[in-house]
């Protein structure tokens, strides 16, 4: 949001936007944009009144993408949107809108898949699961799982972004996790349930109709390491 503010203030569009840890050598002029909460809030509060709720939603969802170009794509979209108004978010063919819509679609599709692929295990009365998504999907998973398990404490650890969704005592929060975080090993009862689930998965499969290509289409292989029934087939 501070980059957006600075871009509009200077009336310029950068060639790239890099976080400090990814800065690269270049022959072009570079400018550091410090974090100014007041500027960020000013831009954030202008989205809905100026661009409408659809554009605000689009910006928020696209920003959850794991794409390294998301900041620049969003900046270009906002320049177009502030010039054209609410119609910009609905112009699917516009070269500044289409890439942002693609980011949004990728984020929401992965969140939809994860709602079915998250596998919990029980440890000392608490549910725990790990995921390795491409995009930062935890904010989209939060209402689903908090609504599904309102009376249970649980943790969903995003190993890609090193953040966990912790729901405890009816309250949800995001907490940072260390690199290499792992759930505690299952106790005897949990291990038995996992073995039963793996056996159930193998039993209901129809060997004559086995189609690995179709399975990878509906359940991409990158999710298997976090799924109880598939982790041994990686």
134 and 223 fall within a common domain: yes
100 and 148 fall within a common domain: no
41 and 72 fall within a common domain: yes
**pLDDT confidence of residue 233:** 77
| Number of structural domains the chain divides into | 2
| Residue range of the domain that includes 132 | 118-233
123 and 228 fall within a common domain: yes
35 and 58 fall within a common domain: yes
Over the stretch 113-141, which tens digit does the pLDDT of each residue have? 999 999 999 988 899 999 999 999 999 99
Provide CB contacts within 8 A for 104, sequence distance 6+: 58, 61, 62, 65
pLDDT band at 19 (very low <50, low <70, confident <90, very high): confident
126 and 204 fall within a common domain: yes
**pLDDT confidence of residue 14:** 87
**pLDDT confidence of residue 21:** 66
7 and 47 fall within a common domain: yes
**pLDDT confidence of residue 157:** 97
Q: What mean pLDDT comes out for the span 145-166? A: 96
**pLDDT confidence of residue 27:** 63
Instruction: Tell how far CA 5 is from the center of its chain.
Output: 25
73 and 99 fall within a common domain: yes
pLDDT at 25 over 90: no
Of the three residues 109, 133, 152, the one that is the final residue of a domain is 109
7 and 38 fall within a common domain: yes
Q: What mean pLDDT comes out for the span 23-47? A: 84
What CA–CA distance (Å, rounded) separates 226 from 221?
Answer: 10
**pLDDT confidence of residue 234:** 61
Q: Are 226 and 130 in contact (CB under 8 A)?
A: yes
What CA–CA distance (Å, rounded) separates 96 from 76?
Answer: 6
Quote the Cα angle for 165-167-168, to 5°.
145
pLDDT band at 149 (very low <50, low <70, confident <90, very high): very high
**pLDDT confidence of residue 212:** 87
pTM (predicted TM-score): 0.89
Of the three residues 109, 128, 151, the one that is the final residue of a domain is 109
Q: What mean pLDDT comes out for the span 89-103? A: 95
104 and 122 fall within a common domain: no
174 and 98 fall within a common domain: no
Task: Give the dihedral sign, CA 45/140/74/33.
Answer: positive
Of the three residues 76, 109, 142, the one that is the final residue of a domain is 109
Residues belonging to the chain: 234
Over the stretch 37-94, which tens digit does the pLDDT of each residue have? 999 999 999 999 999 999 999 999 999 999 999 999 999 999 999 999 999 999 999 9
126 and 201 fall within a common domain: yes
Over the stretch 180-217, which tens digit does the pLDDT of each residue have? 999 999 999 999 999 999 999 999 988 889 898 998 99
């Amino acid at each position: 949001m501070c980059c957006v503010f600075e871009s509009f203030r200077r009336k310029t569009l950068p060639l790239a936007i890099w976080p400090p840890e990814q800065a690269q050598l270049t022959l072009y002029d570079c400018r550091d944009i410090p974090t100014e909460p007041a500027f960020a809030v000013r831009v954030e509060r202008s989205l809905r009144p100026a661009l409408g709720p659809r554009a605000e939603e689009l910006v928020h969802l696209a920003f959850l993408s794991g794409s390294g170009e998301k900041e620049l794509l969003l900046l270009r979209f906002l320049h177009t949107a502030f010039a054209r108004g609410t119609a910009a978010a609905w112009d699917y063919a516009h070269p500044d809108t289409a890439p942002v819509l693609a980011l949004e679609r990728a984020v929401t599709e992965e969140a939809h898949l994860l709602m079915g692929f998250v596998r919990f295990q029980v440890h000392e009365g608490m549910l725990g699961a790990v995921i390795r998504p491409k995009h930062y999907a935890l904010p989209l998973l939060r209402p689903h799982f908090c609504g599904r398990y309102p009376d249970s404490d649980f943790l969903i650890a995003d190993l890609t972004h090193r953040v966990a969704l912790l729901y405890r005592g009816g309250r949800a929060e995001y907490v940072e996790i260390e690199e290499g975080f792992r759930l505690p090993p299952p106790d005897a009862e949990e291990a038995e349930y996992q073995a039963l689930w793996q056996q159930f998965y193998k039993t209901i499969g129809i060997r004559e109709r086995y189609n690995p290509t179709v399975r990878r289409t509906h359940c991409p292989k990158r999710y298997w390491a976090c799924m109880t029934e598939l982790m041994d087939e990686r």
